[in-house]
Amino acid sequence: MSNLEIIHAYRKLLRAALRAVQFSQPSRSTVTAALREGFRDTRAAGGAGFDAERVRRTVWFLNAAAQRRGLEHRILKNLCRVRWERAREASKTPWRVTVREEQLRKEGKRKARDPDVISGTQYQHYDLTIAMLNDTMGLCLR
C-alpha cells in the first residue's frame, strides 16, 4: 500500500465527513480527531490495516449522511455525540478537586471511594455494536 493511496483515502474521508456534519462544531473537531487517530494506527501498522473497499463504502455512507437526514445522518450524529462525551468525561474532573480529595483523605476527614464495578464497562456494548455495524456493512466507522 503506497503512501499516496493512504493520503488520498484520508482526504476523501475528511471531505465527506465534514460535509456530513455540515462543518459544525464540535462535530467537526470530533470527526477530525477520530480520522487522525485511525490513520495514525494504519501508518503504525505500515498500511496493513488499510482496506480501499471499506474506505470507498465509508465515503458512500458519509455522502448519504450529507445528502439527507435519514438513518445515516442519525448514526453519524450519534457517533460524534458519544465520542465528544467520552472525551469530555476523560477531562471532567479538575486537578484541584483531585488534589483536595487526596488531602482530605490523608487528614482522615474523607474515606476513600469504593471502586466502581461499572465504571470501565459503560461503553462495551456500544463499541461492540459499532464493530458489528462495520463488519456487516463493510465500513470503517469509529
Give the predicted TM-score (pTM) of the model.
0.76
The domain of 34 spans 3-112+121-137
pLDDT in tens, the chain (142 residues): 688 999 999 999 999 999 999 999 999 999 999 999 988 876 655 566 788 999 999 999 999 999 999 999 999 999 999 999 888 876 776 777 777 778 887 887 766 555 556 666 788 999 999 999 999 999 999 8
Looking at the domain assignment, is residue 58 inside a domain?
A: yes
Please give the tally of structural domains in the chain.
Answer: 1
Q: Which residue type does 73 have?
A: H
What is the chain's Cα-based Rg?
Answer: 19
Residue 51 Cα to chain centre, angstroms: 19
Looking at the domain assignment, is residue 103 inside a domain?
A: yes
